[in-house]
Amino acid sequence: MDGVTFQESESGALVCHIESLSDELKGNISKRLSEICYGAAKAASQSEVYAYKLTLKEFLKRYESKTDKIKKGMVGELLTHVLLMHFVEKYSSINPYFNMEEESIKKAFDLVLRDSDTGELWYSEVKSGEVNNQTSIEKTKSLLSTAKSELKEKLNSSRHALWENAINGAIISIQSAKLKGEIQKILEECNLAAVNENSKSKDHNAIVISVLYRDLDDSIEVEAIDEKHKRMVKKNEFKGLLTFAVQKETYQAVVNFLSEEVVDG
* pLDDT tens per residue across span 219-235: 999 999 999 999 999 99
Residue 36 in this model has a pLDDT that exceeds 50: yes
pLDDT bucket at 78, cuts 50 / 70 / 90:
very high
pLDDT bucket at 132, cuts 50 / 70 / 90:
confident
DSSP run (H or E) holding 41: helix 40-43
In this structure, of 23-32, 38-47, 158-167, 219-228, the range with the lowest mean pLDDT score is: 38-47
pTM beyond 0.85: yes
Residues 59-70: tens digit of each pLDDT: 999 999 899 999
Residue-range domain boundaries for the chain: 4-264
Q: Which residues of 51-89 are buried (b: 16+ CB within 10 A; e: fewer)?
A: eeeebbebbeebbeeeeeeebbbbbbbbbbbbbbbbbbe
Residues 241-257: tens digit of each pLDDT: 999 999 999 999 999 99
What pLDDT, on a 0 to 100 scale, did the predictor assign at position 101?
A: 46
From CA 61, how far away is CA 91, in angstroms rounded?
A: 29
pLDDT bucket at 193, cuts 50 / 70 / 90:
very high
Residue 107 in this model has a pLDDT that exceeds 90: no
Residue 106 in this model has a pLDDT that exceeds 70: no
Contacts of 38 (CB under 8 A, 6+ apart): 50, 55, 96, 97, 98, 172
What pLDDT, on a 0 to 100 scale, did the predictor assign at position 80?
A: 95
> Does residue 148 contact residue 206 with C-beta atoms inside 8 Å?
yes
Return the beta strands (E) in the chain as ranges.
4-8, 13-18, 91-93, 111-115, 121-130, 205-213, 240-248
Q: Residue 42 gets which letter from DSSP?
A: H
Residue 104 in this model has a pLDDT that exceeds 90: no
